[in-house]
Amino acid sequence: MEKCLRRLLSQRIWRQVWPPLVFSSLFEFLGFRLNCSSLTYETILAFFLRVCYTGFTFLSTVLLARFLGVSGYGVYAFAFSLVMLLSTPIHSGIADLILRETAYGIAQNRPDYIKGVWYWAHQVVLAFSFLVIVGGGGSVWWQGNIGAITKQILVASLFLVPFISLVNIYGYILRGLQYTIFGLIPEFFIRPGSFLSLIVFVVYIFKQNMTPFYAILLQVIATVISLIAAVWFLDRKTPYYVKIADVFKGSRGKWFRDGLFFGLLSSVGVVNNQASIIILGLLNSPESVGYYRVATQMANLSVLGLQSVSLVVAPRFAHLWSQGDHFRLQRLVTQSSRLIFLFSVFVVITFLFRGRVFLHFIFGVEFDKSYTPLLILMFGQVINSSTGAVWFLLNMTGFERETFIVMGGAALINVVLGLVLIPLWGIVGASIATSFSVIVWNMWLWIISYKKIGINTFVIARIKVPDTGLTLLD
């Protein structure tokens, strides 16, 4: 650990971390360094990119909430949440499949197989996007109880689906090619950073009044910018023997079945995150959506540790499980769970004592109603953090089916509770429904993990192995 800290604080490390992320001309240099770096460097860079993503998204939320107001921001939040819900089966389900199959093709020296699954993924994304834009756009346009401006915003937001899906797929392809950081940069750094920059540019340079339609349009432009960067990275990093290989078409049926399963698994996870916003938009006022969206964005700060650590330990889970090294796996799970939990508790305690002041300072006094649902959501995230990266552990050890069943049950609970509680208590009912579903699926997966693979992911689990072997950053 002392050696890692000395290397991190050295001038050489800062030359590797900062210039490539600031100057695009040095991305190639960064890639060269990553090829010969240890997991420590990837952990540092992955955490940095996750912090950038959270910071850019948070600042964008603050600016949009101030410029659009409660009602305008609620319309934007509803449209963007709808887009994320519609695009998840593609950009998450197909992306997970692409990551696995690309890694398989590299290991088996099958460039035709790699190129075949890439071509198939592009065809699926474009076909699905066409159906979403035409079908969804037509459905929205013929709704009589939606205003003309809101219709334009919802239809415009549907054009985000193909771009967001392609950015995700290219990122997962790069990860499958073992360029993990290059796979994260377009999604975690370029897209949110471009969106924030465009907001500032339009409001402060062009002096234009921000509207929900402009916000969606800027989101489209930022996504296109990140897509261009992802295409450039992929072109530079794709091996030549893959580029010249023939296209393998023999496993399209298997890819479709596996992609459908991964898509369903990802969709139920998004339902837990977006269902309350959708139900609020349908059953309540746009103002309530704005209040709740702000609460969810601030609550996400408490799971930054979980999201960052999981990027690093998830591949390690699969590696140790395939080796049958149960003890080292338990040690890594417990270490990561404690790190995740401590980070979450620190954030929650901070918001418990100073959260209202912070909320007023950042968003304004008019968003004071977001404070109570914020605390409820953070309580659920503390329970989420207490079980560590259990969702990733089960998926990396071959228990995706069990994860899907649990997540589907939790999503159903979230929707049912939302339909019951939101008409009664509004945004407080939405936060209770979401937090309860989060607690249910975490406790359920924790029990399955302990019974199926003998790994206790709870934060207070005892480590019964000698103090040697793999550590979190080894």
Quote the tokens at residue 230.
């992802």
Structural domain boundaries in the chain = 40-250, 285-474
Residues 155-164, mean pLDDT to the nearest whole number: 81
Choose between 21 and 236: higher pLDDT: 236
203-207, 266-270, 437-441: range with highest mean pLDDT: 437-441
How confident is residue 312, by pLDDT bands cut at 50, 70 and 90? Answer: confident
Over residues 74-118, the pLDDT tens digits come to 888 888 877 777 777 666 677 777 777 776 777 678 888 888 889
Over residues 259-274, the pLDDT tens digits come to 777 777 777 777 777 7
Q: What pLDDT was estimated at residue 27?
A: 38
Residues 249-254, mean pLDDT to the nearest whole number: 77
Q: What pLDDT was estimated at residue 20?
A: 41
Choose between 425 and 99: higher pLDDT: 425
Q: Which of 267-276, 288-297, 374-383, 425-434 has the lowest mean pLDDT?
A: 267-276
Q: What pLDDT was estimated at residue 140?
A: 65
356 has pLDDT over 50: yes
Residues 242-246, mean pLDDT to the nearest whole number: 84
Half-sphere exposure of 444 (CA within 13 A, CB side): 16
124 has pLDDT over 50: yes
- Mean pLDDT value across the chain: 78
How much is the pTM?
Answer: 0.67
Q: What pLDDT was estimated at residue 137?
A: 67
Over residues 16-61, the pLDDT tens digits come to 444 344 433 333 433 334 443 345 566 678 778 888 887 898 888 8
Choose between 1 and 264: higher pLDDT: 264
443 has pLDDT over 90: yes
As a whole-number percent, the residues of the chain with pLDDT over 90 amount to 18
Q: What pLDDT was estimated at residue 283?
A: 83
Q: What pLDDT was estimated at residue 377?
A: 93
Residues 407-427, mean pLDDT to the nearest whole number: 90
